[in-house]
Structure 1
Amino acid sequence: MNIFSVTAMTGILISGLGLPTLAFANNNAASIESRLEQLEKRVQQAERRAQLAEAKVQGARVDTRRLENAVAENSAQTREAHQAVQETEKRTAALEKKVPEKEDGWFELHGYARSGLMMNQRATHSRGGPYLTPAGDTGGAVGRLGNEPDTYAEVYLEKKQRLDNGATTRFMVMLADGQESYNDWTASTSTLNVSQAFAELGSLPSFSGVFKDSTLWAGKRVDRDNFEIHWLDSKIIALNGTGGGIYDVKWSDDAKSNFSLIGRSFDGIEEVNDDIQSYILTANNYFGPVQWLLSGIKAKDNEYRENRTDHSMDNAGNKGYLTMLAYHGDDFYGLRPGMSKTALSYGHGLGAEVKTVGTRAELTNDADTVRLATYGTTELAKGWDLAPAILAQSSTDRYIKGDDYKWLTLNARLLQGITENFALAYEASWQYMDLDPKGYLDYDKVKGDFYKLTFAPTFRPDDLSPFFTRPELRVYATYMDWDKALDNYSANDTLGQTGFTAGGQWSFGVQMETWF
């Protein structure tokens, strides 16, 4: 029986009941036809989905094959890397057999150097240096990029040893020289000297408690924990001299102290007798990223030194103190990735020289100095790195009662990485100074601004650390200008000399800088 027979019988039955037979049959047939069309559409849609699924399966198979190939290639590279590590370990072991660490120790050679040619727009030797302004005598540095006409080098050799009982020893000697001659033979103008010669003992097995990991030292040295604003060539704190001390007395995992006693002669005064020295007792404390330094200074007979000026030295300093509070940040002032360091210093009497501690004999017992230093580095965007710095100081009654020295330096170095081995460096410096020496050394009262702009294409071996990768080879152009009033500060300082007066000065040069 087919569908039409069923339909006819249904019509007869409906007719017998008195219903409209033809209309019902037509409607029923139309309904069935519509259902067939919908079923056909569903079948077509299912076929399309099946085709898409099959295509995806084929793509997945291709991706799987690619992944399997990548895994195999990666595995081969891993095996090669593992083999390279094994070969390196073998060479290291062979080298250690030749130079046993525990028996003979090992030597290390380190150093820093810069050297370059710097000339002005008239093709003559250009004046420069981070401390060329009138504020420079009291520590007011400006940017050093494209502003260094000298050659300076320091080389130090270290002998280190670890004994069978775990104790360590270290001896270091350092030679340094600096001058502005461009000649290849400069013995007649050399300032070569032994600037450091000291020994250390560390990890002594008989030490325990807070002294367990401490290091003893004695000799002539630059303090291990000095730190600076490199862009200004300015130490934030510098403890340099001859004496002894102990590093890393650990009160807890996050708190430690360094203690030292050093002596030194004063700098820059030929009349000072070598017997008149400053002695500096220092406690340098660390609490996590916070540093607190406190130094006391004594120079017993400094008030009796021969006077080199026409001014009374009845109040010449013979004692003093200074303190510094610093923060060593592992980000850019809490704003973005990078690093930053900030220090606020205060000194009184002989401690009023808050940077190079114990070096200035001319300070009075009433001298007061406040100094702020901060700098940081951060990546602004890929290939662009910024290093800003601020250095400011106010000093009163410094050399004569009533004198007043105020200055502020703003500096920023911007580095644009072009390739791994080439970058463009830009540096801008501005310094404001208000200096009232009260006639000290015939200095005149001045107030004004100094400006410096430098552009320096730079070659480097890599870009692992934008601001600290060395060596660097640079060519540069620098423009400097300053207020004319600053030419009148002194007849002996840099500004105001023949051919170097306000109105704009260009310098051009090439320089290398390295450390290792």
Structure 2
Amino acid sequence: MRSAVYRPWAGISLLMVSTQLLAGAAQSIEERLLRLEARTSSAEARASVAEADAAKLRQQVERLNRQIIASPQTPVQSALDQRVARIEANQQALASSPAAKATPATTNGQLSDGFSFGGYARSGFMSNGSGAGHGGPYLTPAGSVGGAVGRLGNEVDTYVEAKFTQQNQTDNGTRAKYTLMLADGLETPNDWTAAQSSLNVRQAYAELGHLASFEDSPMLRDASLWAGKRFDRDNADIHWMDRGIVFLAGTGGGIYDVKPGEDWRLNASLMSRSYGDFGTEENKDIRSYVATLNQFFDEGRWQVMLNGISSAQNDARLDERHRQEQARDSRVNKSGFSPALSGAHGMLAYHQPDFFGQEGYFKAALLYGQGLGAEVNSIGADGDLLDQARTVRLALYGHTRLSQDWRIAPALIAEQSKDRYVPGDDYRYMTLNVRLANELSSNFEMQYELSWQTMDLDALGYDGRQSANGDYWKFTFGPTFKARTGDFFIRPELRLFATYMNWSRDLDSFSATDDFGQKGFKSGGNWQLGVQMETWF
């Protein structure tokens, strides 16, 4: 019988194996905990997105309920059913998209919302009987002071915007966003246009929202801070005329969505713009500064926007020492009068989320500006305005559905501007534009646009412009293919179009440099044919 032998190394080996097993188990537990934390963060992110979508749907349902209560007749119910069907179709499309199925990733304690790309583009050509094409929303004499007309079948350019955005959320809940936007516009139809390109960085800014430091402040909890070069978030425009109701842009900083009260929200910003270099030995850059307070009441239905503009060196161009350089300086006020050093601008706007109880929306805006604020669309962008310049503008626009197959989008702008560039000058115009669409299938519709503008302009020779008193009108019909009919703002659209336009003979002599009166483009009637694509995403 073999006697037992004491082997100390056996116990040591057993201890080492046990230690390795325990370490492996601990590591496995730690890995599972890390994976669990990642899945929890991902679930929280998806829940946050779902809550935001649910809030939007609740707002839509509340608006629809108000429509039913206000007008329970059968036509409204029919429109309601159609709108609900479209909302459901959009929700199904969103739910089936790759983006909706993507799971947010976690990196170094941050929740990455990822990269997004958006853009806008239009491109096409138009030609009249002489083989050339003249067009653009601002081709009339009133266009010299912003009087736009209908754009359907009236654009000859290629214009593109590309917007790149990166967003993420840190582990303390703060959301960060960086945006870069490039744009280019030209009229040549060539395939290689580098020599004519005007590629430009239109936006480059960063934004911080839902800051953890603001969490305990009801007034700042939903606020966001930004700095850089950008368009104001709440700019408004009439798409049918490519005309901004108000356009605030520049380089600066600001804060959005401060809530001083229960139904009071405000934005504040300070932006800088440039009127150019006026050619002195110091090569000074003439700057303007726009301070803005933009307020919203009654769930955003009412808007009060106030702007102050300052440009302390704006009259330096008229220094006697540099009078001889004025002819070469594109920024010198061409009338020879001293331009304004400051200005004020204000807007009262009403935003209705439906079209008087029907599907669509309705908006109204009353704007007033003086001095450098007398350019009431592009705030602070015109340095030639006189101190005594005054402008008032009224804008009404919206869209709705006339029947199951017809939609309509009416718009009206009326403006008067006095003492703008020369003491005593007077610019008056009114534009009425109506866009119609007849849905003939799920991918095809006929679009029509009627645009009429009346004007009474007395430029008193500023920049070679004369007086003009008369009317302009155009009619366009355009067979249009699109991804899905049913809404004015679904893109892309591929259009064929035929446009007939005419105007009063008196408008031909307003300026030697504008389109009117040029060879082959005089009053008496002009047909223009063309093709165009337009898209955004």
Q: TM-score, normalised by structure 2?
A: 0.76
Partner amino acid for 2:209?
G
**Which residue in the other structure is 1:279 paired with?**
289
With over 3 angstroms needed to count, the CA separation of the structure-2 counterparts of 1:88 and 1:433, relative to structure 1, is closer
With over 3 angstroms needed to count, the CA separation of the structure-2 counterparts of 1:89 and 1:374, relative to structure 1, is closer
* Aligned counterparts of 2:97 and 2:156: Cα–Cα separation in 1: 45
Cα contact 1:447–1:485 (8 A) shared by 2: yes
With over 3 angstroms needed to count, the CA separation of the structure-2 counterparts of 1:120 and 1:259, relative to structure 1, is same
Percent identity between the aligned chains? 49
**Which residue in the other structure is 1:28 paired with?**
none
* Aligned counterparts of 1:472 and 1:100: Cα–Cα separation in 2: 43
**Which residue in the other structure is 2:350 paired with?**
327
Q: Secondary structure at the match of 1:209?
A: coil
**Which residue in the other structure is 2:335 paired with?**
311
Cα contact 1:265–1:274 (8 A) shared by 2: no
Cα contact 2:278–2:285 (8 A) shared by 1: no
Q: How does 1:93-492 map to 2 (within 5 A)?
A: 95-97=103-105, 102-122=110-130, 124-207=131-214, 208-266=217-275, 275-288=285-298, 289-306=301-318, 307=326, 308=332, 311-314=335-338, 316-332=339-355, 334=356, 336-464=358-486, 466-492=487-513
- Calculate the aligned-residue CA RMSD, in Å: 2.2
* Aligned counterparts of 1:111 and 1:223: Cα–Cα separation in 2: 17
- Name the larger-Rg structure: 1
Cα contact 2:278–2:317 (8 A) shared by 1: no
Q: Report how far residue 97 of structure 1 moved.
A: 4.5
Partner amino acid for 2:229?
K
Q: Residue by residue, what CA displacement relative to the aligned partner does 1:3-52 show, whole Å, maximum 9, x if unpaired?
A: xxxxxxxxxxxxxxxxxxxxxxxxxxxxxxxxxxxxxxxxxxxxxxxxxx
* Aligned counterparts of 2:335 and 2:235: Cα–Cα separation in 1: 35
* Aligned counterparts of 2:353 and 2:334: Cα–Cα separation in 1: 50
Q: Report how far residue 96 of structure 1 moved.
A: 3.0
Q: Residue by residue, what CA displacement relative to the aligned partner does 1:167-222 show, whole Å, maximum 9, x if unpaired?
A: 00000000000000101110000000111000001111111231111000000001
With over 3 angstroms needed to count, the CA separation of the structure-2 counterparts of 1:91 and 1:510, relative to structure 1, is closer
**Which residue in the other structure is 1:506 paired with?**
527
With over 3 angstroms needed to count, the CA separation of the structure-2 counterparts of 1:475 and 1:101, relative to structure 1, is farther
Q: Report how far residue 270 of structure 1 moved.
A: 7.5
With over 3 angstroms needed to count, the CA separation of the structure-2 counterparts of 1:478 and 1:497, relative to structure 1, is same
**Which residue in the other structure is 1:66 paired with?**
none
Q: Report how far residue 442 of structure 1 moved.
A: 2.2
Unpaired runs of 5+ in structure 2?
1-91, 319-325, 327-331
Q: Secondary structure at the match of 2:212?
A: coil
With over 3 angstroms needed to count, the CA separation of the structure-2 counterparts of 1:236 and 1:174, relative to structure 1, is same
* Aligned counterparts of 1:114 and 1:282: Cα–Cα separation in 2: 32
Q: Report how far residue 92 of structure 1 moved.
A: 6.0
Q: Secondary structure at the match of 1:201?
A: strand
Q: Residue by residue, what CA displacement relative to the aligned partner does 1:394-433 show, whole Å, maximum 9, x if unpaired?
A: 0000001100000000000010000111000000000001
With over 3 angstroms needed to count, the CA separation of the structure-2 counterparts of 1:330 and 1:100, relative to structure 1, is farther
With over 3 angstroms needed to count, the CA separation of the structure-2 counterparts of 1:324 and 1:414, relative to structure 1, is same
**Which residue in the other structure is 1:77 paired with?**
none
Q: How does 1:9-158 map to 2 (within 5 A)?
A: 95-97=103-105, 102-122=110-130, 124-158=131-165
Partner amino acid for 2:254?
G
Cα contact 2:275–2:285 (8 A) shared by 1: no
* Aligned counterparts of 1:92 and 1:117: Cα–Cα separation in 2: 37
Q: Residue by residue, what CA displacement relative to the aligned partner does 1:233-255 show, whole Å, maximum 9, x if unpaired?
A: 00000001000000000123421
Cα contact 1:101–1:161 (8 A) shared by 2: no
With over 3 angstroms needed to count, the CA separation of the structure-2 counterparts of 1:210 and 1:91, relative to structure 1, is closer
With over 3 angstroms needed to count, the CA separation of the structure-2 counterparts of 1:381 and 1:296, relative to structure 1, is same
* Aligned counterparts of 2:272 and 2:102: Cα–Cα separation in 1: 45
With over 3 angstroms needed to count, the CA separation of the structure-2 counterparts of 1:487 and 1:211, relative to structure 1, is same
With over 3 angstroms needed to count, the CA separation of the structure-2 counterparts of 1:346 and 1:98, relative to structure 1, is same
* Aligned counterparts of 2:352 and 2:425: Cα–Cα separation in 1: 36
With over 3 angstroms needed to count, the CA separation of the structure-2 counterparts of 1:432 and 1:242, relative to structure 1, is same
Cα contact 1:143–1:231 (8 A) shared by 2: yes
* Aligned counterparts of 2:224 and 2:182: Cα–Cα separation in 1: 24
With over 3 angstroms needed to count, the CA separation of the structure-2 counterparts of 1:228 and 1:129, relative to structure 1, is same
Q: Report how far residue 118 of structure 1 moved.
A: 1.1
Partner amino acid for 2:117?
L
With over 3 angstroms needed to count, the CA separation of the structure-2 counterparts of 1:187 and 1:396, relative to structure 1, is same
With over 3 angstroms needed to count, the CA separation of the structure-2 counterparts of 1:509 and 1:175, relative to structure 1, is same
Cα contact 1:196–1:222 (8 A) shared by 2: yes
Q: Residue by residue, what CA displacement relative to the aligned partner does 1:66-95 show, whole Å, maximum 9, x if unpaired?
A: xxxxxxxxxxxxxxxxxx99x979996764
* Aligned counterparts of 2:507 and 2:459: Cα–Cα separation in 1: 13
With over 3 angstroms needed to count, the CA separation of the structure-2 counterparts of 1:92 and 1:282, relative to structure 1, is closer
Partner amino acid for 2:519?
T
Partner amino acid for 1:299?
S
Partner amino acid for 1:292?
V
Q: Secondary structure at the match of 2:402?
A: strand
| Number of positions where the alignment pairs a residue of Structure 1 with one of Structure 2 | 427
* Aligned counterparts of 1:504 and 1:329: Cα–Cα separation in 2: 38
Q: TM-score, normalised by structure 1?
A: 0.79
* Aligned counterparts of 1:233 and 1:99: Cα–Cα separation in 2: 42
Q: Residue by residue, what CA displacement relative to the aligned partner does 1:256-299 show, whole Å, maximum 9, x if unpaired?
A: 000000001138x9879662111000000000200000000000
After TM superposition, the structure 1 stretch with the greater mean CA deviation from structure 2, 205-214 or 239-248, is: 205-214
Q: Report how far residue 383 of structure 1 moved.
A: 0.4
Unpaired runs of 5+ in structure 1?
1-83
* Aligned counterparts of 1:329 and 1:219: Cα–Cα separation in 2: 31
Q: Secondary structure at the match of 1:305?
A: helix
